[in-house]
C-alpha cells in the first residue's frame, strides 16, 4: 500500500479505535445482593423485578463479578453483588473494569432486611442516613458476660459494651458511613407517599407483634439506618445491641431500622473507591425493605423466629422496586440536570 493511502486511512483508523474505546457511563446502577434461579420468569429474588420491569435485556460480563451486568437503553444498569461482606469484593471488581466510567453514576443499593418492630412493619422501606458496620467487635457468649452487661459485645479496644476507647488508634475505622443527607432527604421526600403492596400473610404476621404499634401498622416509607453484619443475628437481646451499636457509632444521630449482611461491605468499598476518584460517594443511596422482624413476637422464641419463613418477603421485594424505581426514573428523566448536579 502506498504511503499516501496509509496517511489517508490513519485518521479513520484512529477515529474507529477512539470510538471503540468510548467508556460505558451508566446513569444509575441498581445493586441487589442475590437472585433465585433465573433473572426473569420464576420465583423472584432481589434482582428479578428490576430485570423484568426496567427491561434490562442487555448484558455485560465483568471479570471478577459472578453475575453479568444487565442494562437498558435508558442508562439503567443492574448488578448482583453476592451476599455478606464479600459483596465488597465484587463491587471493587466491577468499578475497576476499564470499560466503565462510574464517576457520575448514582448508586441504589437495595434489598430485603430484618426490620426493627419499634420502627416499622414488614413491607416497609427505609432510606438509610447511615450505614453501620456490625462485624468488628470483641465478643464473648452473653451467658459468660458480667451480670451488669446487657450482652457480650464490646467495641474493639473497649472494656465494656457501649464504650469507644479514645486511645484505640489501631482499631478499624470507620465503623459507620454517613450518606449525603441532601440526596437521602430528596429520595425520601420523593417516595414517602408511594403506595406499598401488601398480602394477607404479611397482615396476619404483623398482628402477632402486639407489643409494638409500629410493627402492626401498614407498611410505610421511612428514614432509618442500616446495620450490616456477616452473621444473621436475631433476637430481643441482639436487637437491643443493634440499637445501641448504631447510636454509639453515629454519635447519637442514627436510629437502627434495618439489619442486613452486605451494606457495611458495599459502603466501605464505595467510600474507598470514591477517594480514588472512581465513584462519587455523594451519589450513593441505600434502601432496605423489611421481609421479617429481627426479634420474636410475644409467645415466640428467638430461635423459632429466626428460622421461620419470611412472611413479608414478597411485600419487601415489591416495596424495594416501587420505592427505588421512583428515584431511578426521576434521575434518568432529568439526566441533563442530574449528571452534573445532585438533587436538592
Q: Which residues pair with 225 in a beta bridge?
A: 256
The domain segmentation of the chain, as residue ranges, is 24-136+172-336
The whole-number pLDDT of residue 164 equals 85
SS3 49: helix
The whole-number pLDDT of residue 169 equals 76
Q: Which residues pair with 79 in a beta bridge?
A: 31
pLDDT above 60: residue 7: no
The whole-number pLDDT of residue 4 equals 42
Q: Where is pLDDT greater, at 5 or 211?
A: 211
Is the entire prediction scored with pTM above 0.85? yes
**How many CA atoms are closer than 13 Å to the CA of 293, on its beta-carbon side?**
31
The whole-number pLDDT of residue 311 equals 92
The whole-number pLDDT of residue 293 equals 98
The whole-number pLDDT of residue 23 equals 97
The whole-number pLDDT of residue 10 equals 41
The whole-number pLDDT of residue 18 equals 42
Each residue's pLDDT tens digit, 77-111:
999 999 999 999 999 999 999 999 999 999 999 99
Each residue's pLDDT tens digit, 199-210:
999 999 999 999
pLDDT above 50: residue 5: no
CATH superfamily, with its number, for domain 24-136+172-336: Nucleoside phosphorylase domain (3.40.50.1580)
Query: What is the overall mean pLDDT for the chain?
Result: 94
Which of 219, 137, 125 lies closest to 171 in space, CA to CA?
137
* Contacts (Cβ under 8 Å, ≥6 apart) of 161: 149, 150, 151, 152, 153, 154, 155, 241, 244
Amino acid at each position: 500500500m502506498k504511503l499516501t493511502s496509509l496517511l489517508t486511512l490513519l485518521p479513520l483508523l484512529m477515529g474507529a479505535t477512539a470510538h471503540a474505546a468510548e467508556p460505558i457511563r451508566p446513569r444509575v446502577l441498581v445493586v441487589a445482593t442475590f437472585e433465585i434461579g433465573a433473572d426473569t420468569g420464576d420465583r423472584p429474588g432481589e434482582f428479578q423485578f428490576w430485570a423484568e420491569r426496567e427491561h434490562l435485556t442487555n448484558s455485560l460480563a465483568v471479570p471478577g463479578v459472578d453475575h453479568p451486568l444487565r442494562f437498558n437503553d435508558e442508562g439503567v444498569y443492574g448488578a448482583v453483588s453476592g451476599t455478606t461482606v464479600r459483596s465488597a469484593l465484587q463491587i471493587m471488581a466491577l468499578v475497576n473494569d476499564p470499560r466503565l466510567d462510574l464517576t457520575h453514576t448514582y448508586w441504589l443499593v437495595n434489598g430485603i432486611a430484618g426490620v426493627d418492630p419499634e420502627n416499622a412493619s414488614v413491607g416497609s422501606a427505609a432510606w438509610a442516613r447511615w450505614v453501620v458496620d456490625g462485624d468488628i467487635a470483641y465478643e464473648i457468649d452473653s451467658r459468660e458476660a458480667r451480670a451488669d452487661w446487657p450482652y457480650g459485645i464490646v467495641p474493639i479496644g473497649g472494656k465494656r459494651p457501649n464504650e469507644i476507647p479514645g486511645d484505640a488508634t489501631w482499631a478499624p475505622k470507620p465503623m459507620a458511613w454517613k450518606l449525603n443527607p441532601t440526596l437521602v432527604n430528596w429520595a425520601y421526600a420523593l417516595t414517602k407517599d408511594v403506595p406499598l403492596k401488601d398480602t394477607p400473610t404479611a397482615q396476619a404476621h404483623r398482628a402477632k407483634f402486639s407489643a409494638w404499634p409500629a410493627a402492626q401498622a401498614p407498611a410505610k416509607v421511612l428514614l432509618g439506618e442500616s446495620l450490616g453484619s456477616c452473621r444473621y443475628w436475631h433476637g430481643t437481646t441482639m436487637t437491643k445491641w443493634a440499637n445501641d451499636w448504631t447510636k454509639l457509632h453515629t454519635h447519637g444521630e442514627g436510629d437502627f431500622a434495618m439489619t442486613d449482611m452486605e451494606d457495611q461491605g458495599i459502603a466501605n468499598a464505595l467510600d474507598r473507591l470514591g477517594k480514588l476518584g472512581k465513584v462519587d460517594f455523594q451519589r450513593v443511596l441505600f434502601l432496605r425493605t423489611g421481609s421479617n422482624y429481627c426479634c420474636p413476637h410475644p409467645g415466640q422464641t428467638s430461635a423459632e423466629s429466626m428460622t421461620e419463613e419470611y412472611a413479608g418477603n414478597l411485600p419487601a421485594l415489591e416495596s424495594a422496586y416501587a420505592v427505588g424505581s421512583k428515584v431511578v426514573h426521576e434521575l434518568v428523566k432529568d439526566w441533563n440536570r442530574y449528571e452534573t448536579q445532585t438533587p436538592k
